[in-house]
């Protein structure tokens, strides 16, 4: 059961800000302000604005955390508060953390490399390694919230936080914990990362119209838009949630994963790898394809990826694909890389609870090869009993999570 959620995204601080913006079809993408992009081909991204770590964290502790870790701790505090759980309230050994990140502490890495070059090795901070390694988000979350049970970090590119949620589900099912805090965090809007993704020709170059840059399934799409942020969810066993009178938000009921085993960065053109993950999630949940009414697509606004995912959905759902609603919330949030899966799961849970399906904005000239119902441009009021949310990553990683609505 999902009993609590927290988020920091380009839409604002908190789940309420995220949901209200998505339902309104507002984009969180703008010109990057935290980094100098003047000599880069890309100047736009999804920044978490108005975030001052000192508003949430002890100033000394915040100085010893990379931005991606700060995001993780704050979003996780929000999720725990939303679940009605105090730090230390979960019995010893029965609460754990699974968190994902695609890249980890790259902002600290870049800053300290500059220190090494300009001031010498003696001036590199002794906190350099503890700030950059990927597992520090999960570690700090566990320390902050006193969750001393299972703890792990998944680093599977843009599948990282979806894998983290699926792994948390399995730990709960296996009886290794009663409560798991699962999610992902990413803070990559630094010149080196922007230059690297731009060199791959993976990013949109619509610098003059940032809010229209991310346009999944549209004929004019030219790449994804990098974004930062974190999403965190409290997952509990049904018995634990009932025993404390918790309010269940939805049930994460299925977890499927696969590998394309095809290419470093391109998806299988026919979508068979993505299809295998979706079939796995349905089988794990015991859901018939016809029971699914909505898919929160991975769809990043890349020419090949959006077509491959469309083909995968048609493989899995057959004729029912034409009755499915599919949307890409990345059209508004941008691509949070390793944190995307957790944030999109939060939006999927809210879609089921609120009876509102998020739109795909900027869908003005549909690609003929993308021929599903993508909830174009305006949110739709529609009750759905079950949904999937997809995450696919460089290296051919594929994850699909199944979610069931609860009364």
Select which of 158, 159, 214, 370 is catalytic.
Answer: 158
**Helices (H), strands (E): how many in the chain?**
13, 15
Residue 14: left (phi > 0), alpha (psi -120 to 50), or beta? Answer: left
Write the secondary structure of 38-66 as one string of H (helix), E (strand) and C (coil): CCCCCCEEECCCCCCHHHCCCHHHHHCCC
Closest among 231, 250, 207, 223 to 339, alpha carbons compared = 231
| Strand pairing class (12-13; 30-31) | unpaired
Is 335 annotated in the active site?
A: yes
Q: Please enumerate in sequence order all residues whose Cβ is within 8 A of that of 132, keeping only pairs 6 or more positions apart, or say none.
A: 66, 104, 105, 106, 108, 109
Angle between helices 191-199 and 106-119 (to 10 degrees): 110
CA atoms within 13 A on the CB side of 267: 29
Angle between helices 272-285 and 303-317 (to 10 degrees): 40
Is 240 annotated in the active site?
A: no
DSSP 8-state secondary structure symbol assigned to residue 239: H
Q: Residue 21, Cβ neighbours under 10 Å: how many?
A: 18
DSSP 8-state secondary structure symbol assigned to residue 262: S
Across the beta sheet with 397-404, the strand order is: 251-259, 397-404, 386-393, 294-296, 325-327
Select which of 214, 253, 335, 370 is catalytic.
Answer: 335
Element (H, E) at 140: helix 136-145
Burial 177-202 (b: 16+ CB within 10 A, else e): bbbbbbbbbbbbbbbebbeebbeeeb
Tokens standing for 203?
């990013």
The set of catalytic residues is 158, 298, 335
């Amino acid at each position: 059961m999902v009993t609590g959620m927290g988020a920091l995204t380009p839409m604002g601080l908190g789940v309420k800000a995220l949901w209200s913006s998505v339902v309104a079809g507002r984009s969180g993408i703008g010109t990057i302000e935290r980094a100098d992009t003047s000599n880069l081909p890309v100047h736009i991204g999804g920044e978490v604005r108005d975030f001052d770590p000192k508003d949430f964290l002890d100033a000394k502790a915040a100085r010893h955390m990379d931005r991606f870790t700060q995001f993780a701790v704050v979003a996780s505090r929000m999720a725990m508060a939303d679940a009605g759980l105090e730090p230390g309230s979960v019995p010893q050994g029965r609460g754990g953390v699974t968190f994902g990140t695609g890249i980890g502490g790259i902002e600290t890495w870049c800053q300290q490399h500059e220190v090494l070059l300009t001031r010498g090795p003696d001036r590199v901070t002794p906190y350099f390694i503890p700030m950059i390694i990927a597992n520090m988000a999960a570690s700090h979350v566990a320390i902050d919230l006193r969750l001393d049970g299972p703890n792990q970090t998944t680093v599977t590119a843009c599948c990282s936080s979806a894998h983290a949620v699926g792994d948390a589900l399995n730990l709960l099912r296996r009886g290794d914990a009663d409560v798991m805090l699962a999610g992902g965090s990413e803070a990559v809007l630094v010149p080196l990362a922007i230059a690297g993704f731009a060199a791959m020709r993976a990013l949109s170059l619509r610098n003059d119209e940032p809010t229209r840059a991310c346009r999944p399934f549209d004929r004019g799409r030219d790449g994804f838009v990098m974004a930062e942020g974190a999403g965190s969810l409290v997952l509990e066993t049904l018995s634990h949630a009932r025993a404390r009178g918790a309010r269940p938000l939805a049930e994460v009921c299925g977890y499927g994963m696969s590998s394309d085993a095809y290419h470093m960065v391109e998806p299988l053109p026919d979508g068979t790898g993505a299809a295998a993950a979706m079939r796995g999630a349905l089988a794990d949940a015991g859901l018939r394809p016809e029971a699914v009414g909505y898919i929160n697509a991975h769809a990043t606004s890349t020419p090949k990826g959006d077509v491959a995912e469309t083909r995968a959905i048609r493989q899995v759902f057959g004729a029912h694909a034409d009755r499915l609603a599919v949307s890409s919330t990345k059209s508004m949030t941008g691509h949070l890389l390793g944190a995307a899966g957790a944030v999109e799961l939060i939006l999927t849970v809210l879609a089921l609870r609120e009876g509102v399906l998020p739109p795909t904005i900027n869908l003005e000239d549909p690609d003929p090869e993308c021929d599903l119902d993508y909830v174009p441009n305006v949110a739709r009021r529609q009750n759905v009993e079950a949904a999937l949310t997809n995450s696919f990553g460089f290296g051919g990683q594929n994850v699909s999570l199944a979610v069931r609505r609860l009364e």
